[in-house]
Chains A and B, each alone.
Chain A
């Protein structure tokens, strides 16, 4: 199976919270990332979390990590139409290892 799995699509209304989930298989993963890709563009690093943390908050973004279940989530508070994009979860063994990406979750925010 895939090393990193994500649901493919999420639709929310503007102002609601969005939660995008990700599971990974490699328990050795040390760095876990969330990237955002807008249409026709490259990837923008949103945030990352080290495996020895269980939560990280950065403005409207909250990352939760359940290392036991190998589950990572990204919560976007007060979702805006500008948040519509594809969100990729990724992991790496070390900070300098190659990245393994999930297939991405398309977030659609409706007014």
Chain B
């Protein structure tokens, strides 16, 4: 149990376009979802925390107008990278927690999405 999926697994987009990444909890309802960004040879950087039905809380230095997060249901959160630029190329990972997952405090991670902006 406690499986989190992400879609797409890889995406290539042109500079200036927007791209949406989905994060789904497949077999549990998650009250909280997290979005991380992972740079090569760097740790995961928390971008934002989102609770179902409310606005996401962004970490310092993360532009909320550039990285739009929507958490419309207990099983789905989306991250939209707007007007993407090459420096946005990265590995984006989501995690989900709470709700019907046991234990409720454990974060379950998705497999990640590799974004390449050309």
Q: Give B6's nearest chain A residue, CB to CB.
A: A42
B interface, CB within 8 angstroms of A: 4, 6, 34, 41-44, 46, 49, 93, 95, 97, 103, 105-112, 114
Q: Decide if A99 touches B46 in the complex (CB within 8 Å).
A: yes
CA distance A99 to B43 in the complex (A): 11
Interface assignment of A59: CB less than 8 Å from any CB of chain B? no
Q: Decide if A41 touches B43 in the complex (CB within 8 Å).
A: no
- Give chain A residues whose Cβ lies under 8 Å from the Cβ of B107: 45, 99
Q: Decide if A103 touches B43 in the complex (CB within 8 Å).
A: yes
- Give chain A residues whose Cβ lies under 8 Å from the Cβ of B95: 42-43
- Give chain B residues whose Cβ lies under 8 Å from the Cβ of A43: 44, 93, 95, 109
Q: How large is the interface on A (under 10, 10 to 19, 20 to 34, 35 or more residues)?
A: 10 to 19
Q: Give B45's nearest chain A residue, CB to CB.
A: A101
Shortest Cβ distance from residue A5 to the other chain B in the assembled complex, whole angstroms: 10
Known pairs A43-B95, A88-B43, A103-B42. 16 more at Cβ < 8 A?
A: A40-B111, A40-B114, A41-B111, A41-B112, A42-B93, A42-B110, A43-B93, A43-B109, A45-B108, A96-B105, A98-B34, A98-B46, A98-B49, A99-B46, A101-B43, A103-B41
Q: Give A96's nearest chain B residue, CB to CB.
A: B105
Chain A interface secondary structure, helix, strand, loop or mixed?
Answer: loop
CA distance A4 to B43 in the complex (A): 10
CA distance A42 to B46 in the complex (A): 14
- Give chain B residues whose Cβ lies under 8 Å from the Cβ of A40: 111-112, 114
Interface assignment of A55: CB less than 8 Å from any CB of chain B? no
- Give chain B residues whose Cβ lies under 8 Å from the Cβ of A88: 43-44
Q: Give B5's nearest chain A residue, CB to CB.
A: A42
Shortest Cβ distance from residue A21 to the other chain B in the assembled complex, whole angstroms: 15
Shortest Cβ distance from residue A71 to the other chain B in the assembled complex, whole angstroms: 18
- Residue pairs across A and B with Cβ atoms less than 8 A apart, 22 shown, are A4-B43, A35-B109, A40-B112, A40-B114, A42-B4, A42-B6, A42-B93, A42-B95, A42-B109, A42-B112, A43-B44, A43-B95, A45-B107, A45-B109, A88-B43, A95-B105, A98-B34, A98-B46, A101-B43, A103-B42, A103-B43, A104-B41
